[in-house]
């Protein structure tokens, strides 16, 4: 390709809207342009790199035995109603109607579509396992799209799904996909951190995210410096703390005692009032859970709740309230809480609901004598002794509370937010944390979709069974942006060879006379040997050409100048120094560099 035919509108100024390196450089290098809020157009140079990322993903998916499909982006709303996610996906899902009033969805994800496709075709265990994938457009109506391609409203994802007759088969594919993901990101030149993660709205059990470190990351990673434990803070667990005693030597047989606490509501105020620490308090928060799907039969306060599936213990409750207890110095992790309640969302109850359900003003809730709500206790509460709690009355607290004696939780679970300084559950070393962005996520979905959408096959005994399912996603645009985040300097992008829009650029000081002849010769020799080469044949000053080439980041630059001929200057973008190479040997030497770099990147991935 010659630059005179390339559409590459580079910018000298940094756009005000761009706050991260990838967004700035993609705009400045003329690779993308904003069409609307959260909506971007790939220009020719950017699209070439985007296609390179797609190709790497496609090659690794094919090598892992997955088969590529191309479903429509707009899908029937009825399959989302079947799965139950029509109600639970919220405002982020774009719902539309066509001219005959049919409900449609602009796909934010594709579990429903692939389950619907495969249930119509798979009827026997002999057809399983099967793994399928797409690389397709998605739309999620983000409240606040930002950071360019990192969080756009329309984006491209690779989604793979697998269907199995048993958990062993699912685990085999899950592990194979994890290995493929590691190869994909290594081939793209990315340093990823695989972490344990929450499955979120997708559902399921086993889940692993592939993160890249980022100062503006949406995720907080909890990492162990000793044993390598790594988890998103939505999933991270920690070692139990030592048993938390009260301030004195009060025996566990001491009776619960009410104490007057006028106008004392917060933990800090209680600490000052009682001259003690927050670790002594059991903090009780009232949460409203939306779309719970669990067995609440017999739970306190749940007899009057609306159940969408009457007679079924694990019914769907559009709304339910819970008292959540946790040690006073800790915070509730709402993602963990929602996972334990199998809810699409949990939010703190309104002041009105708190007073209605506890009979006390906000700040005086506690688990002792609370009969109107199920009590969910964090595991930290089980290790407390001689605690203080709200007493379900204004200006009143209890002291000498013993968990297990004075109240029995309906459920005890890990719902604390783990932070740096907490101890690793594996080796007891202290955690540290980093900010990260998610590039890929793999799930063991189990039967969530195959049961709700009634996908069936006949097993070896002729019995109908639901297959178990896995899900494996990668954000293509976000992966491309992350490559730039990791590979750039003050002058521009430094593309790895595997995803560079062109592998080599030839820059004649002037495109005329002997320099033009030498440049054309190199261009022809490199192109005929299969190298992706760009020739800067513009009538621009050399400084402008060099600035542009540093900005767009092509890995190898050949400078043709009349002072050096019959030698040319060969320079790698990531290095400071250049080398003079005879013109008649330059094409072969540069082709060798390109192939060596690609081989090295592939070797890193193996």
Between these two residues, 299 and 312, which has the higher pLDDT value?
299
The residues, any chain, with a CB within 8 Å of residue 605's CB and separated by 6 or more, are 182, 183, 184, 186, 187
Within a domain: 246: no
Within a domain: 388: yes
Is residue 168 located within the same domain as residue 273? no
Is residue 195 located within the same domain as residue 340? no
User: pLDDT-derived band of residue 144, with 50, 70 and 90 as boundaries?
Assistant: confident
**Domain CATH for 312:** 3.90.960.10
Is residue 437 located within the same domain as residue 381? no
- According to the model, what pLDDT value does residue 202 have? 40
Is residue 21 located within the same domain as residue 134? yes
Between these two residues, 245 and 90, which has the higher pLDDT value?
90
Within a domain: 506: yes
- According to the model, what pLDDT value does residue 214 have? 87
Spatial separation of the C-alpha atoms in residues 413 and 432, rounded to whole Å: 23
Angle between helices 476-486 and 44-63 (to 10 degrees): 110
Spatial separation of the C-alpha atoms in residues 567 and 425, rounded to whole Å: 62
Is residue 16 located within the same domain as residue 158? yes
- End of a domain among 378, 413, 448? 413
Given a cut of 90, whether residue 203 has pLDDT beyond it is no
- According to the model, what pLDDT value does residue 241 have? 85
Query: Span 125-150, mean pLDDT?
Result: 94
Q: Is the dihedral of CA 142, 471, 443, 156 positive or negative?
A: negative
512: tokens are 């005329």
Within a domain: 340: yes
**Burial classification of residue 530, based on how many CB atoms lie within 10 Å of its CB (0-12 exposed, 13-18 middle, 19 or more buried):** exposed
Instruction: Count up the domains in the chain and report the number.
Output: 3
Q: Give pTM, 2 decimals.
A: 0.84
Query: Span 422-429, mean pLDDT?
Result: 94
Between these two residues, 142 and 33, which has the higher pLDDT value?
33
Identify the H or E element spanning 382. helix 379-382
Spatial separation of the C-alpha atoms in residues 71 and 138, rounded to whole Å: 11
**Domain CATH for 557:** 3.40.50.800
Q: What is the pLDDT of residues 468-495, one digit of tens each?
A: 999 999 999 999 999 999 999 999 999 9
- According to the model, what pLDDT value does residue 39 have? 96
User: pLDDT-derived band of residue 196, with 50, 70 and 90 as boundaries?
Assistant: confident
**Terminal alpha carbon distance of the chain:** 32
Query: Span 7-23, mean pLDDT?
Result: 89
Within a domain: 418: no
Given a cut of 80, whether residue 435 has pLDDT beyond it is yes
Spatial separation of the C-alpha atoms in residues 193 and 359, rounded to whole Å: 47
Query: Span 434-453, mean pLDDT?
Result: 92
Between these two residues, 89 and 597, which has the higher pLDDT value?
597
Is residue 294 located within the same domain as residue 401? yes
- According to the model, what pLDDT value does residue 319 have? 87
Residue 347 to residues 84, 220, 317, 412, Cα–Cα distance (Å): 20, 20, 15, 19
Query: Span 50-70, mean pLDDT?
Result: 97
DSSP 505-531: EEEESSSSHHHHHHHHHHHHHHHHTT-
Given a cut of 50, whether residue 559 has pLDDT beyond it is yes
Query: Span 25-48, mean pLDDT?
Result: 96
Given a cut of 70, whether residue 106 has pLDDT beyond it is yes
Within a domain: 243: no
Is residue 151 located within the same domain as residue 218? yes
Within a domain: 428: no
Is residue 217 located within the same domain as residue 326? no
Q: Identify the domain containing residue 384 by its residue range.
A: 257-413
The residues, any chain, with a CB within 8 Å of residue 424's CB and separated by 6 or more, are 224, 226, 227, 229, 238, 239, 430, 431
Top-ranked range on mean pLDDT: pick from 141-145, 432-436, 555-559: 555-559
Cβ(345)–Cβ(291) below 8 Å: yes
- According to the model, what pLDDT value does residue 182 have? 95
Spatial separation of the C-alpha atoms in residues 442 and 179, rounded to whole Å: 11
Is residue 225 located within the same domain as residue 95? yes
120: tokens are 């119509």
Is residue 544 located within the same domain as residue 409? no
Given a cut of 70, whether residue 25 has pLDDT beyond it is yes
Given a cut of 60, whether residue 55 has pLDDT beyond it is yes
**Domain CATH for 232:** 3.30.930.10
Is residue 266 located within the same domain as residue 401? yes
Within a domain: 427: no
Given a cut of 90, whether residue 251 has pLDDT beyond it is no
- End of a domain among 413, 448, 473? 413
Given a cut of 80, whether residue 180 has pLDDT beyond it is yes
Mean per-residue pLDDT over the chain, rounded: 91
Is residue 404 located within the same domain as residue 458? no
């Amino acid at each position: 390709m010659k630059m005179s035919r390339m559409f590459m509108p580079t910018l000298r100024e940094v756009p005000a809207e761009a706050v991260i390196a990838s967004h700035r450089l993609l705009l400045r290098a003329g690779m993308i342009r904003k069409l609307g809020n959260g909506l971007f157009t790939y220009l020719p140079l950017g699209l070439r790199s985007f296609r390179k990322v797609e190709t790497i993903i496609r090659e690794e998916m094919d090598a892992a035995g997955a088969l590529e499909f191309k479903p429509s982006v707009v899908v029937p709303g009825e399959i989302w109603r079947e799965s139950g996610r029509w109600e639970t996906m919220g405002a982020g899902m774009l719902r539309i109607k066509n001219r005959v009033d049919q409900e449609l969805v602009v796909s934010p994800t594709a579990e429903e579509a692939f389950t619907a496709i495969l249930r119509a075709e798979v009827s026997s265990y002999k057809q399983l396992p099967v793994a399928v994938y797409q690389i397709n457009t998605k739309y999620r109506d983000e409240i606040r799209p930002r950071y360019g391609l990192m969080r756009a409203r329309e984006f491209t994802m690779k989604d793979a799904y697998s269907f199995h007759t048993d958990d062993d088969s699912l685990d085999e594919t899950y592990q194979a996909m994890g290995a493929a993901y590691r190869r994909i990101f290594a081939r793209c030149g990315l340093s990823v951190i695989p972490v344990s993660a929450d499955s979120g709205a997708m559902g399921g059990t086993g889940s692993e995210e592939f993160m890249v470190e980022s100062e503006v990351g949406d995720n907080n990673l909890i990492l162990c410096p000793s044993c390598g434990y790594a988890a998103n803070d939505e999933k991270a667990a920690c070692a139990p703390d030592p048993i938390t005693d009260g301030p004195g030597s009060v025996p566990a047989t001491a009776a619960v005692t009410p104490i007057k606490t006028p106008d004392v509501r917060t933990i800090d105020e209680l600490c000052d009032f009682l001259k003690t620490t927050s670790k002594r308090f059991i903090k009780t928060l009232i949460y409203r859970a939306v779309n719970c799907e669990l067995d609440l039969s017999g739970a306190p306060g749940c007899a009057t709740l609306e159940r969408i599936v009457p007679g079924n213990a694990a019914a769907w409750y559009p709304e339910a309230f819970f008292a959540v207890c946790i040690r006073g110095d800790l915070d509730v992790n709402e993602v963990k809480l929602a996972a334990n309640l199998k809810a699409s969302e949990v939010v703190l109850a309104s002041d009105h609901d708190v007073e209605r359900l506890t009979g006390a003003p906000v700040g005086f809730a506690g688990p002792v004598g609370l009969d109107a709500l199920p009590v969910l206790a964090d595991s930290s509460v089980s290790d407390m002794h001689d605690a203080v709690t709200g007493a379900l009355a204004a200006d009143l607290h209890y002291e000498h509370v013993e968990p297990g004696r004075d109240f029995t939780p309906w459920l005890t679970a890990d719902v604390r937010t783990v932070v740096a300084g907490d101890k690793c559950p594996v080796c007891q070393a202290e955690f540290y944390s980093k900010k990260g962005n998610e590039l890929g996520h793999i799930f063991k979905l189990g039967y969530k979709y195959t049961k709700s959408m009634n996908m069936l096959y006949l097993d070896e005994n002729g019995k109908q069974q639901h297959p178990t399912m896995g899900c494996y996603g990668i954000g293509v645009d976000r992966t491309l942006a992350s490559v730039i985040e990791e590979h750039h300097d003050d002058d521009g992008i430094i593309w790895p060879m595997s995803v560079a829009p062109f592998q080599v650029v030839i820059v004649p000081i002037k495109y005329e006379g002997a320099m033009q002849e030498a440049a054309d010769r190199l261009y022809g020799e490199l192109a005929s040997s299969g190298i992706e080469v760009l020739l800067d044949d513009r009538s621009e000053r050399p400084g402008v050409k060099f600035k542009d080439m540093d900005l767009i980041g092509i890995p190898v630059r050949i400078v043709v100048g009349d002072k050096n001929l019959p030698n040319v200057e060969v320079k790698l973008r990531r290095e400071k120094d250049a080398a003079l190479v005879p013109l008649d040997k330059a094409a072969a030497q540069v082709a060798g560099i390109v192939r060596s770099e690609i081989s090295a990147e592939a070797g890193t991935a193996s």
